[in-house]
Amino acid sequence: MTDSILVERRDDIALVTINRPEKRNALRQGDWETLADTLDALGDDDSVRCIVLRGAGEAAFCAGADISGFEAERSTREKVRAYEVATGRAFAAAHTCRHPVIAMIHGYCLGGGFELALGCDLRISAMSGRFGIPAKNVGLFLAYSLLELLIDAGGKAIAKEILLEGRILPALEAQSKNLITRVVDDDGLEDEVMTAARRIADGAPLAARWHREAIRRISQPSPYSEAELEAQFDYADSEDYRAGYQAFVDGAKPKFTGR
């Protein structure tokens, strides 16, 4: 954790804050690396049940890359390759984290910031949310892994609209195109997100993990192996399943351990 990436714990919920409000939370290469390291470390922490990713200040969730760093970080093919490795790690850390990740979005959510949000499981936005990937304005090509996230959310037609027009979408339009999960008033954003995080954290962590992995797997074209089909029944051997089943029978609240 550095000054640009902050972590706060609220019981079993971790809040990760992108903390560069003077830059609309736009990030340099080192910041992306720190964000990836932070999410990876939280993913390895079994005391965490849900992660909330948010931006500091009032202007933005994350406005993408800090353009003041382009010359130093992205002016040659070799530099671009290293930069893309750093950002790719951050996007993958959100997308493949062992724990569910919610993007709490207000203000600008652009470029790499939008791509980061697309890697999260839920994207809950305030009405002030503004979304877009203006790659055409810089001559950038979006990596295949990021195109997959964009197409998975909105489909090919919406991906073309986003990338070819480079238009900035208000929150309600982004929601209508399935790019974000839901929209709430700005003053109710934190309550809505923390309520969703609490619902997730109270659930069985193994079930959340299995469902997220299965949803990612379904998008792949290859047929399911016999091992994958058999693994559908692994939950029956878990302590969480026995605890949940017994609590259901007893009319009590289950206590899940993640085992």
pLDDT on residue 125: 98
CB half-sphere exposure, 256, CA atoms < 13 A: 22
CA distance 245 to 202: 15
Question: Both ends of the chain: CA-CA distance in Å?
Answer: 29
User: Which pLDDT tens digit goes with each residue over 137-176?
Assistant: 878 888 888 899 999 999 999 999 999 999 999 999 999 9
pLDDT on residue 1: 47
Read off φ and ψ for residue 103, nearest 5 degrees: -90, 120
Q: Where are the alpha helices (DSSP H) in 108-223?
A: 112-118, 144-154, 156-160, 171-176, 189-202, 205-218
CA distance 72 to 54: 27
- What residue type is assigned to position 101 of the chain? V
CA 223 to chain centre: 27
pLDDT at 104 over 60: yes
CA distance 241 to 204: 8
Q: Which domains does the chain have, with CATH numbers?
A: 5-200 (3.90.226.10), 204-250 (no CATH)
